[in-house]
Chain A
Amino acid sequence: MSRDPTDAEPAGAPAGSPDDVLRVRNLTTRFFTEEGQVNAVEGVDFDVRDGEVFGIVGESGSGKSVTALSVIDLVESPGRITDGEVWYREPDLAAEFEDDVPAAVDGEFVDVRRLPEGVRRSLRGPSFSMIFQDPMSSLNPSVTVGEQIAEAVEVQRRASANPRRTRSRTQGYGLGRLLVDTLVPGRGYTSEASEARAVELLEQVGIPDPAERADEYPHQFSGGMLQRAMVAQALAGEPDVLIADEPTTALDVTIQAQILNLLRDLQAEQDTSVVMITHDLGVIARMCQRVGVMYAGQVVERGTLADVFDDPVHPYTEGLLGSIPDMDEPASRLEPIEGNVPSLLDSEMGERCYFADRCPKAMEDCLRPIPMYDAEGSDEHETRCVLAVEEYDEAAALPDGYFESEPDSASESGSADDPAAGEEVSTGD
């Protein structure tokens, strides 16, 4: 974390669309656990543009949530971001650090990862903000909802009171301050103005009687209401980029629809860019203009919604789409992807396409690391699959059971046995 910015080689911001507000390159996050090194995020690239909703879709263990945490620098031990750049377009910030940290600045872009810790922290809220999956555990149960939102507002207020001096926005809250606030009644971190703003925000996210509800505690809110409150909190800083990590997964469909509508309205109103992370392809389809599909810590396919949903190249994307029962035209049988998500343990990840062991079209060419290839469709469409550049060739296909003979270090997780057994049984009987 405490890498010396001056040591970094001057690379400059990567090329991309001029609308980009965020360009993430080669983001790599590893967890150093007792079982070994886990490569949760492995060289992830994506861009987020002004006012768009960018979707990241993947199953559990695909690294999508860790990607989000890595972007806003909230990865905790035993995890560590080991590599990568997060270029963020913010002219003021660029001007401020042009001289101090030249390697971190390129035009209007700043590589957030090269900025000092305090500055990175100060960007959370006013620049990046996040909505989590479980609203119940994301809000402090012993502080009223209104106060928690007011706190976020206060952070923003103090930051914008001194817009050019990022370094002064450290928002320190020391022990002394805590003592004073606790002992002196009516003296909180938040001011009356920010509390009023909190009520406004609650109203904005559609909470009835916002003034009364602001004084209630999280447990007095329903799940949907809490998620609204979380949205209000995230919006308090008027962030440039809002990262929503499974924002509706814990909610019922009718409430989910409410929250999705709300997010879309607010996004249009404030022109915020949203990174929508979810496992639900339906939510992606409804909300996003561009999509990245993640598997085993990598982005395996990326493009516009139509590219990914209508012309998927990567067999994983195809499999994912084939796994969902279609509500309007039900098929008699689903076509699932056999097997399980890999463990991501470094020792078990071979030098190959990580999907090859579950892939129905695995070929010999898949036994090497696969780069991103351009795929048909829009200019945006790229995929990490050799099928983008060559036809599937039966002759080169890997024989059945090819991966079972691999040294079975995965035996602990039992994942190795499953695909074959599943296949055999479901057809055999």
Chain B
Amino acid sequence: MTETDPGAGSDLRGTDARDGDGADASAPPAGDDDALVEVRGLRKYYYEDDTLIDRLLRREPTSIQAVDGVDLDIERGETLGLVGESGCGKSTTGETLLRLRDATDGSVRFDGEDVLSMGSSELRRFRKRAQIVFQDPFSSLDPRMTVGDVIAEGLKIHDLPAADPDVAVEADVTVDGDADVEVTVDDDVDTAVESEGGVARVPVRVDATGAGATGSADGGTRADGGPTVSFGRYDDVLAAEVTPRDGGYDVHVSVGASKRTLRRERARTLLERVGLSAGQIDRYPHEFSGGQRQRVGIARALALDPEFIVLDEPVSALDVSVQAQILNLLDDLQSEYGLTYLFIAHDLSVVRHICDRVAVMYLGEVVETGTTEELFESPKHPYTEALLESVPRADTSEQGRRVETLSGDVPSPRDPPSGCRFRTRCPEVIPPAGVAVDQSTYRSVMDLRDRLRRGDFGTGVVWEAVGDPDREDTEAFKREVRAEFGLDGLTGANGDTVEDALEVLANGREREAAERLTERFESVCETEEPVLPDEPHPAACHLYDDERAAAGVDDDADPVTDPEFGGAGMAAGMETPDPEAAGGELPDGVSDPEHGVSDGDSSDADDADDHDASEDDRDGSEP
């Protein structure tokens, strides 16, 4: 099967939605201090080259580790920002934790329940509580549906509105004129009336002044010869039955509209709530501008009254002025409904504006997390620093500012760097003790070593450049390589090692040259994958190893990952019934459809990467 959740089985439709509803509301969160969403060791791998021919040839599929061991905690009511460059796996993380893609490994707990192992009815309930808003306002709305249908779709799927047994129904009765009126209200009126704090208040206005007169101006229900009853804004959806009795009337209020009408009413309300007009309910998405479509997307997410919304780059496709409108709207909705957001973005100024805490991702891993203030004011990880440095500020002081840029591109996710994934671009790679060279020369040596190790150095090209096809003039060869890689600044033992290695290289022994260089120049950043420590403002970077060692940070005192949960989480991840979970182990890539990297997946996959040492290391270090 595909990535579609097996959960939404049609057998369940309509039968236990109501019960489900009740269960949701009756299972209040265990405590306010634990996170609403806890992600542990989340991995999502894609496999490519999984064609028929590959399978016939029993070729190992190349894995692309889009998300590799991500841990996140999202507290109730907060906005957690997830930032990183395109391809770092941030969107994949968002979709995987909602189970829109199947995780390869790891665990996701939502309000204490393990999302990845949910059965179909649990998943169905989860879908009501966790929603998503997408980036592209043009592809995220079905062009063939009116916005009203788009917004009401979730309600229709869950056969809502349904009466909630936990919501009490009360009538706010106003009587005009002199009459003794007794009002009774059906239990299921809460399907039509908005509830607040567990009570649905029905505004009932009984106009007894004209009792006996015929017709009423306000279109309210008029019983024969009796008083007129109106419900304010609920006039269209409620009905009243008036029975005269001794000295007064009995008024019985019930739902007077079909579910379809109620859903439409809800869609109207939501349209207005997100800043559109209810009159636009029958328009098609193409009749709206980008910002308006994004509002519709938000209304769709709100329709099911979720607690948690993944906002996947909700404003990056919008113009700045419209972007600000949407950010303000998201802000308002959060405080109004007490929503929890996971805000995925690449625009740091937006993140700074809206997020309470931020996690920075690079190549499928979280490299730093902290409160927005901490992270922006005192970034720890060199990557975070570089990101912040790179953003152009809209201020005159920005003029002519020269940014120290990161070198090169994000490495290929198929062949990620060993150790710290950021080391190939890092301006602060740590040289081994005793090797004192400046950063740029050290980087040059590392680049040379990486090239040699990957085997794409191309000795021939150098000889060509030297103009010595017979490969005799080793001095010229060395000069050429030194010039190309900028190795001239090396002296002493460092210089000797390089001299030595180049000599070997000139003789065509690339591997040996690489070994000689590595022996002297290998950095801790290459050999050891840095781990995100358990501290208030952690950064996965070796620069802080000493600091931490000095402070005597003790792994036991780790409030976030309690070992029991970690174990349970992993186990749960393993026993996920989904075949996907095991997908990683299918060596010949037996066509598990999920893993064929085809159009859609590859875009995300393009980018991620890597190596699983980190998770194991982390687990190992915890107890």
A–B complex contacts, Cβ < 8 Å, 5 sampled: A209-B458, A305-B396, A326-B394, A337-B321, A429-B332
Proximity bits, A409-421, B CB within 8 Å = 1, else 0 = 0001111011001
Stretch at the interface among A29-37, A42-50, A275-283: A275-283
Proximity bits, B276-309, A CB within 8 Å = 1, else 0 = 1101100100011111100000000000000000
How distant is the Cα of A340 from the Cα of B280 in the complex, in angstroms?
A: 16
Proximity bits, B302-340, A CB within 8 Å = 1, else 0 = 000000000000000001111111011101100010000
Given contacts A305-B399, A422-B325, 18 further A-B pairs with CB under 8 A are A224-B409, A225-B409, A252-B85, A254-B390, A256-B390, A264-B402, A279-B319, A282-B398, A289-B399, A325-B352, A326-B393, A330-B352, A333-B328, A413-B288, A414-B288, A417-B279, A418-B277, A429-B336
Proximity bits, B69-103, A CB within 8 Å = 1, else 0 = 00000000000000001100000000000000000
A74 within 8 A of B: no
* Of the residues A224, A254, A285, A412, contact of B399 by C-beta under 8 Å: A285
Q: Contacts A418-B276, A425-B275 given: A282-B393 contact, CB under 8 Å?
A: yes
Q: Identify the interface centre among B276, B354, B386, B409: most chain A CB within 10 Å of its CB.
A: B409
B346 within 8 A of A: yes
How distant is the Cα of A258 from the Cα of B389 in the complex, in angstroms?
A: 12
B56 within 8 A of A: no
Proximity bits, A163-192, B CB within 8 Å = 1, else 0 = 000000000000000000000000000000
**Chain B residues closer than 8 Å to A340, beta-carbon distance:** 289, 291-292, 322
**Chain B residues closer than 8 Å to A212, beta-carbon distance:** 458, 461
* Of the residues A209, A289, A338, A421, contact of B272 by C-beta under 8 Å: A421
A341 within 8 A of B: yes
How distant is the Cα of A426 from the Cα of B274 in the complex, in angstroms?
A: 8
How distant is the Cα of A305 from the Cα of B391 in the complex, in angstroms?
A: 18
- Return the chain B residue nearest A417 by Cβ: B277
Q: How far is the CB of A135 from chain B (nearest CB, A)?
A: 13
**Chain A residues closer than 8 Å to B327, beta-carbon distance:** 325, 334, 336
Secondary structure at chain A's binding surface: helix, strand, loop or mixed? helix
Proximity bits, A282-294, B CB within 8 Å = 1, else 0 = 1111101100000
Q: How many residues of B contact A (CB 8 A)?
A: 63
A395 within 8 A of B: no
**Chain B residues closer than 8 Å to A256, beta-carbon distance:** 390, 392
* Of the residues A211, A282, A335, A417, contact of B391 by C-beta under 8 Å: A282
Secondary structure at chain B's binding surface: helix, strand, loop or mixed? helix
Q: How far is the CB of A45 from chain B (nearest CB, A)?
A: 24
Cβ contact within 8 Å between B287 and A413: yes
Cβ contact within 8 Å between A59 and B320: yes
Q: Contacts A336-B322, A414-B288 given: A324-B86 contact, CB under 8 Å?
A: no
* Of the residues B86, B288, B319, B394, contact of A252 by C-beta under 8 Å: B86
Q: How far is the CB of B466 from chain A (nearest CB, A)?
A: 14
Cβ contact within 8 Å between B287 and A414: yes
How distant is the Cα of A211 from the Cα of B460 in the complex, in angstroms?
A: 13
Cβ contact within 8 Å between A414 and B289: yes
A309 within 8 A of B: yes
A310 within 8 A of B: yes
How distant is the Cα of A338 from the Cα of B321 in the complex, in angstroms?
A: 8
Q: How far is the CB of A43 from chain B (nearest CB, A)?
A: 23
**Chain A residues closer than 8 Å to B322, beta-carbon distance:** 59, 336, 340
**Chain A residues closer than 8 Å to B350, beta-carbon distance:** 325
Cβ contact within 8 Å between B458 and A330: no
A222 within 8 A of B: yes
**Chain B residues closer than 8 Å to A325, beta-carbon distance:** 324, 327, 349-350, 352-354
How distant is the Cα of A60 from the Cα of B409 in the complex, in angstroms?
A: 29
* Of the residues A252, A320, A326, contact of B349 by C-beta under 8 Å: A326
Cβ contact within 8 Å between A328 and B403: no
**Chain B residues closer than 8 Å to A309, beta-carbon distance:** 394-396
**Chain A residues closer than 8 Å to B393, beta-carbon distance:** 282, 285-286, 326-328
Cβ contact within 8 Å between A254 and B405: yes
**Chain B residues closer than 8 Å to A253, beta-carbon distance:** 85, 346, 348, 387, 390-391
How distant is the Cα of A261 from the Cα of B405 in the complex, in angstroms?
A: 8
How distant is the Cα of A309 from the Cα of B432 in the complex, in angstroms?
A: 47
Q: Contacts A253-B85, A282-B394 given: A323-B400 contact, CB under 8 Å?
A: no
Q: How far is the CB of B557 from chain A (nearest CB, A)?
A: 33
How distant is the Cα of A417 from the Cα of B271 in the complex, in angstroms?
A: 12
Cβ contact within 8 Å between B403 and A421: no
Q: How far is the CB of B454 from chain A (nearest CB, A)?
A: 13
- Chain A residues 243 to 262 lying within 8 A of chain B, measured CB to CB, are 252-258, 260-261
Q: Contacts A211-B461, A281-B394, A330-B352 given: A425-B399 contact, CB under 8 Å?
A: no
Cβ contact within 8 Å between B396 and A323: no
Cβ contact within 8 Å between B292 and A324: no
**Chain A residues closer than 8 Å to B245, beta-carbon distance:** none
Cβ contact within 8 Å between A425 and B272: yes
A321 within 8 A of B: yes
Cβ contact within 8 Å between B409 and A285: no
B273 within 8 A of A: yes
- Return the chain B residue nearest A307 by Cβ: B396
- Closest 7 A/B residue pairs (Cβ): A282-B392, A336-B324, A325-B353, A281-B394, A252-B85, A285-B398, A323-B324
**Chain A residues closer than 8 Å to B352, beta-carbon distance:** 325, 327, 330
A196 within 8 A of B: no
**Chain A residues closer than 8 Å to B346, beta-carbon distance:** 252-253
A69 within 8 A of B: no
Q: Contacts A260-B392, A282-B398, A414-B288 given: A324-B319 contact, CB under 8 Å?
A: no
Cβ contact within 8 Å between A417 and B394: no
How distant is the Cα of A305 from the Cα of B349 in the complex, in angstroms?
A: 21
Q: How far is the CB of A187 from chain B (nearest CB, A)?
A: 24
Q: How far is the CB of A251 from chain B (nearest CB, A)?
A: 9
Q: How far is the CB of A320 from chain B (nearest CB, A)?
A: 6
How distant is the Cα of A358 from the Cα of B353 in the complex, in angstroms?
A: 24
Cβ contact within 8 Å between B328 and A425: no
B376 within 8 A of A: yes
- Return the chain B residue nearest A62 by Cβ: B319
**Chain B residues closer than 8 Å to A252, beta-carbon distance:** 85-86, 346, 410
B233 within 8 A of A: no
